[in-house]
Amino acid sequence: MPVKRDDNLCYSTDELVETLISIGGPLDTDEVVAFATIQGFRYDETDRLWQLGLDDIAALSARFTPCDTLYVLPDSVRECTSPWATTLAGLYRNPISLPSSLSPEQGQLLKDLICNTDPRAIMEIGCFIGISTIWMASGLEQIRSQAIIHSVDLFEEVHPLPPYHFRYILDRLDAAQQAVDSAQLTDRVRFHKMASRQMALSLRDILSAPIELLFIDGDHSKRGCLSDFLLFLPYVAVGGYIVLHDIYPENCGHDGPRWVIDHFVKGSRAFELIEIKTQPNNYGMAIIRKRGHDLRLRVGSAVLRRFAANWPMIKSTSGGHFMSNVAEKFFRA
């Protein structure tokens, strides 16, 4: 793992090459070293570390892991002159949007769902650079809804390494806010920079109505996705919708959403489920309608909320591991 020193990331030669190989494929170490030397990148002979700034990393990534693919925009976006569409077109031209953001087809599906269901309260977990947020807000704009989207994300820095290729964003919150402002949808979105578990503990103070559309696209690990599902489920209205992104691990590389569907949604009379194949890479989306309450999940939600505030302090302890294992066995029973 790189060491952060001042404003630089420090890699040994092996670490640097392995990082580039992880996405770009086989590389010759001598070629990487030669390129870094020619570019004048700083090398500390004492520590045997390359001290790289973000522009240096961007140059390396662009040279050895080039991104030649962008999402193809449908005519409905490409030819539209509305601010939301021109802003989306600009975001999709940034290579950082693929594969980390919703595809245009998935975005249109999410927008159509909002236009047809007219949710009074919308919660988004994970917005990345704001593409999904703008798709949903444009739906609210189209139906002249007064609803507001509350979007929570850690908004951590994005460095120019795979899978983000040769782009970096030092302030993702500012970038997402600027995108929403450019789309002229500012009044329809509220961003919250915090962990989703912190947001869940604040919902009673933030929401004026039960959630009628919950879009989960945050932590894609099993425990992360389950935590988001359980913590926010009690605040979803009966008849409301929960949308999961990236539900086909064989295509998207994430197993959390699939695991939640298979172990907690399927077979429960509290939910109606439809899985949708999506273009262009079929990462998939699930639309879940909450029909009622599942006692097992209500108990799990209550337990998780009780420990959510202290979880960062105890999750790495033996007690935290024990609790995680017990909870996992209980939920899967």
pLDDT of 117-167, one tens digit each? 999 999 999 999 999 999 999 999 999 999 999 999 999 988 666 555 556
Contacts for 42 with CB less than 8 Å, ≥ 6 apart: 8, 50, 51, 52
Say whether both 58 and 112 belong to one domain: no
Say whether both 17 and 111 belong to one domain: no
Three-state secondary-structure class, residue 143? coil
Say whether both 158 and 268 belong to one domain: yes
Q: Please give the average per-residue pLDDT across 223-231, as a whole number.
A: 95
User: What total of structural domains would you count in the chain?
Assistant: 2
The whole-number pLDDT of residue 160 equals 63
240-280 pLDDT tens trace: 999 999 999 999 999 999 999 999 999 999 999 999 999 99
Say whether both 172 and 258 belong to one domain: yes
Q: For the chain, what is the mean pLDDT?
A: 88
Least confident of 67-76, 95-104, 199-208: 67-76
Say whether both 26 and 128 belong to one domain: no
Query: How far is the C-alpha of 250 from the C-alpha of 244, rounded, in Å?
Result: 16
| Domain assignment present for 69 | no
* 24: pLDDT strictly greater than 90: no
The whole-number pLDDT of residue 162 equals 54
Domain residue limits at 57: 3-64
Say whether both 25 and 84 belong to one domain: no
Burial class (CB in 10 A: 0-12, 13-18, 19+), 107: buried
Q: Classify strands 189-193 and 49-52 as parallel, antiparallel or unpaired.
A: unpaired
| Domain assignment present for 320 | no
* 282: pLDDT strictly greater than 50: yes
Say whether both 126 and 48 belong to one domain: no
